[in-house]
Amino acid sequence: MLYETLRKVAAAACCALCLSATAQAASDTPSIWTHIVAGMQLDQRETPETVARARAYARRADLVEAMLARSEPFLWHIVEATERRRMPLELALLPAVESGFDPHARSQRQAAGLWQFVPATSAIFGLQTTRDYDARRDPVASTRAALGHLSDMYEYFGDWWLAVAAYNVGLGNLSNILKAQHGVTSIWALKLPKETHDHVRRLAAISLLIEQPQRFGITLPAIADAPATAIVPLRSAIDLSAAAEAAGVSDSLIRQLNPGLGDLRNTTGKKGVMLPTAEAERLLATLKSRRFTPSARPQVVVHVIQPGDSLWQIASHYRVSIDDLRRWNDLAESSVLRPGRRLSVQTSL
């Protein structure tokens, strides 16, 4: 549910991922929100139901505003990619519905990233998942795949709202729904599964909030219509951890903005890394001045879960992070460790 996502975002709103809104407020650069509103194209956003949803969100304005602030590192890149494809800019807001603009988000169905791709279908959309790299959690790669998928759905159905519905329920399922309802084509008249019905209305409601914040009593975070982050190209596999240390960039900042990365000591399969612009410039200068040979791949061992084991204990034993353990074994935060289950652990011990 969107509110559950919003609560998680609010809890993390003060982390290093969030860039300085004060600096943006002082800037004369136009707002990204003005840019998005100017590029909105979808009709019939304002229905009684979507207005009611927008008002419901506005009653938790603190959560909505925290979520939107969380978008700052990624939003300009998403808007630019959406606009380049000549798609309605409402679609740049879809990650608000999918993940609350959290690239670390993972659902109980194991969907991951800003756009919530599931493992079973990620390869279809060109998102590779390997030991070293999960493209579903890469903000740039997943955005490219999601917009391509939405564009394909639009070409098939000829309607952007139907494309949004198909993104949630699937092309085949939506085609069957349309056939069963004897030619009903309006998304607002179509009887959809509850999850898909809500999915479409949430995007419409979020779009209304962005378009008319004063009407709904929310304050949009000050995000400039300019990139807050930059992509540092990786032309070959390197030891990114060593390069970052030399450039004065922390591993934790890299992981916050690039959750698709596996072992930072060997960036095989990764074409670029996202960082705030100042840190990106330092890292790029460092990479140009020195070579950082990738470290040897860590050994993969199998840990058989014993009664009483916890992720913290296992991570401490192998000197790895809990987040890495979850990522290597596709574990959600709610996953239960059952004795006898085997966990893969990448370790240099």
CB 162 within 8 A of CB 153: yes
231 vs 313: CA distance, rounded Å: 36
Residue 314 near residue 342 (C-beta atoms within 8 A): no
Distance from C-alpha of 163 to C-alpha of 171, rounded to nearest angstrom: 8
CA distance 93 to 112: 17
- Given 98, 211, 279, 333, which residue is catalytic? 98
- What ranges in the chain are assigned the alpha helix state H? 2-11, 21-26, 32-38, 48-58, 61-70, 72-84, 94-98, 119-122, 139-157, 160-169, 171-180, 194-211, 213-216, 240-247, 251-257, 277-289, 311-318, 322-329
CB 329 within 8 A of CB 288: no
For residues 185 and 161, give the distance between their C-alpha atoms in angstroms, rounded to a whole number: 10
Report how far residue 135's alpha carbon sits from residue 114's, in angstroms, rounded to the nearest whole number. 11
Alpha-helical (H) ranges within 181-270 are 194-211, 213-216, 240-247, 251-257
Residue 190 to residues 21, 49, 91, 260, 313, Cα–Cα distance (Å): 41, 14, 20, 37, 51
Which of 337, 334, 336 has the alpha carbon at shortest distance from 4? 334
Are the C-beta atoms of residues 209 and 247 closer than 8 Å to each other?
no
The one-letter code for the residue type at 58 is: A
**Residue 298: DSSP 8-state:** P
**Quick check: is 98 catalytic?**
yes
Active site positions, annotated: 98
